Homo-oligomer: A and B are copies of this chain.
Amino acid sequence: MLKIGALASLAGVSRDTLRFYEKHGLITPDTRTDSGYRLYSETDVYRISFILSAKEVGFTLNEIHQLLELEVTKDDKSCHDVKQFVDNKIQVVNQRLGEMEKIKQSLKTLSNACCGGDEPATHCTILGALSVQNR
């Protein structure tokens, strides 16, 4: 049984983060001492590790919450369910990637049109382009 500080240092997060995750349903202490201290099991280190790994590949805490539910109920879930969840996320990431690519192109167009010289920017095409109502 680990107290919050022990789990925190084993898992590499702060005590505050653990309490935050608890508030958001990502982890719960197994019990409490009589004085109210949280007591975690050793396997919770892996649970935190799961959370951190999932965060690293771009899942939000909310999505991780859903993933953890998949994990807990994995006897009732199929690989199909899990894979679909990930594939969904890939779609979302792809979409966002497309948007950012468009933004980058717009910025490049803007930048390329500007002379970049040392004269006053009164004639600057960037400032000009932004001032115009485009849609």
Q: Which of A79-135 contact B (CB under 8 A)?
A: 79-83, 86-87, 89-90, 93-94, 96-97, 100-101, 103-104, 106-108, 110-111, 114-124, 126-127, 129-134
**How many residues of A sit at the interface, in one of the four size bands?**
35 or more
Q: Which of B54, B67, B70, B131 lies in contact with A46, CB distance below 8 A?
A: B131
Q: Are A119 and B79 within 8 A (Cβ)?
A: yes
List 19 interface pairs A-B (beta carbons < 8 Å), by A numbering.
A56-B106, A57-B110, A57-B130, A58-B103, A67-B127, A70-B121, A70-B127, A74-B122, A74-B127, A79-B114, A79-B123, A80-B118, A82-B124, A83-B114, A86-B114, A90-B108, A93-B100, A94-B104, A97-B100
- CA A45 to CA B6, docked complex, whole Å: 58
Q: Are B82 and A119 within 8 A (Cβ)?
A: no
- Chain B residues whose C-beta falls within 8 Å of the C-beta of A28 in the assembled complex: none
Q: Are B131 and A80 within 8 A (Cβ)?
A: no
- CA A96 to CA B96, docked complex, whole Å: 11
- Chain B residues whose C-beta falls within 8 Å of the C-beta of A82 in the assembled complex: 114, 121, 124, 126-127
